[in-house]
Amino acid sequence: MDSSQNTNQKRVTVIEKIMGANNRLAAENQSILDDAQIFSLNIMASPGAGKTSLIERTIRNLAGQFSIAVIDGDIATSIDADRAATAGAVAVQINTGGECHLDATMLYQGLSQLEISEFDLLIVENVGNLVCPAAFQLGCHKSVLVASIPEGDDKPYKYPAMYHGVDALVINKVDLLPYVSFNMEYFSRGVEILNPGVQTFPLSCRTGEGIDPWLEWISANIREHKKLP
The footprint of ligand GTP (CB under 6 A) covers 45, 47-53, 80, 128, 172-173, 175-176, 204-206
Q: Which region among 80-88, 135-143, 195-203, 210-218 touches Mg ion (by CB under 5 A)? A: 80-88
CB of 26 to ligand GTP, least distance (A): 22
Q: What is the 3-state secondary structure (H, E, C) of the chain?
A: CCHHHHHHHHHHHHHHHHHHHHHHHHHHHHHHHHHCCCEEEEEEECCCCCHHHHHHHHHHHHCCCCCEEEEEEECCCCHHHHHHHHHCCEEEEEECCCCCCCCHHHHHHHHCCCCHHHCCEEEEECCCCCCHHHHCCCCCCEEEEEEEHHHCCCHHHHCHHHHHHCCEEEEECHHHCCCCCCCHHHHHHHHHHHCCCCEEEECCCCCCCCHHHHHHHHHHHHHHHHCCC
CB of 13 to ligand GTP, least distance (A): 33
Which residue's Cβ lies closest to ligand GTP? 128
Nearer to Mg ion, 81 or 168 (CB): 81
Nearer to ligand GTP, 74 or 120 (CB): 74
Among 26, 58, 80, 92, binds Mg ion (CB under 5 A): 80
Nearer to ligand GTP, 36 or 205 (CB): 205
